[in-house]
Amino acid sequence: MPPAAAWPDLLPAVADECRAVLLEGAGRDWSRRAGDLDWTCRQTLDHLALGLVGYAGLLIARPRDRYITLFASLDSRAPVPACLEGVGIAASLLAATVRDTAADVRAWHPWGHSDAAGFAAMGITELSVHTHDIARGLGLSWTPPGGASAAVLARLFPDAPSGHDPSATLLWCTGRIPLPGLPRRTAWRWHGGAAQDPAAAAPGG
């Protein structure tokens, strides 16, 4: 797992890689389903931007038992390249918030009250798996970056199986693909609680 200081740099780096591959498919049909999701590729991009800004908002507002009341969305009339710019902005907002949040701060999330590093890892997970979903829908071949995947597995998926490629393991943990000897998961969640908190060890679904 990277040190706390590294998460704010890792997050925008992953966002840049995700945006680059999706830009390759900017001229394709974004009304197609994103992988096996019920959303279209365009709707999944909206979800991604909303989630990244939402994680930043949770760290700022620090509610105890609810989601924040701010919902970010991409301009429905904007072309895909401009929407990808919006995703980059959302990732930068989360990275800056993570950088400025003290290590002892905790904020609500339905999968465990988390610290800044946890929210950074959640953001990287969202970027990685939904870029994979959209790329599949657009007919592009892409896998999440290995180093970032390994960091996320260490932070959010401590029970992940060992001995496999970290990118493939992250996709398995999030129900996207099977692994050798392991069928595709039909239910999953990450362990969001901060590493030193008892909630971090709670079993996932």
pLDDT tens sequence across 66-111: 888 888 889 989 999 999 999 999 999 999 999 999 999 999 888 8
pLDDT at position 197: 46
Q: Say which DSSP state 62 is in.
A: -
Distance CA 179, CA 164 (A): 8
pLDDT at position 203: 30
Domain spans in the chain, listed from the N-terminal domain onward? 4-201
Q: What is the largest CA-CA distance in the chain?
A: 47
pLDDT at position 20: 97
pLDDT tens string 7-17? 999 999 999 99
Distance CA 73, CA 194 (A): 28
Q: Say which DSSP state 78 is in.
A: S
Short-list 73, 50, 44, 13, CA closest to 138? 44
- Kindly give the parts of the chain with pLDDT less than 70: 3-5, 195-205
Q: Which CATH architecture has domain 4-201?
A: Up-down Bundle (1.20)
- 170-202: b or e for each residue (b if 16 or more CB lie within 10 Å)? bbbbbebbebeeeeeeeeebbbbbbeebeebee
Q: How far is CA 188 from CA 49, 67, 144, in A?
A: 22, 20, 18
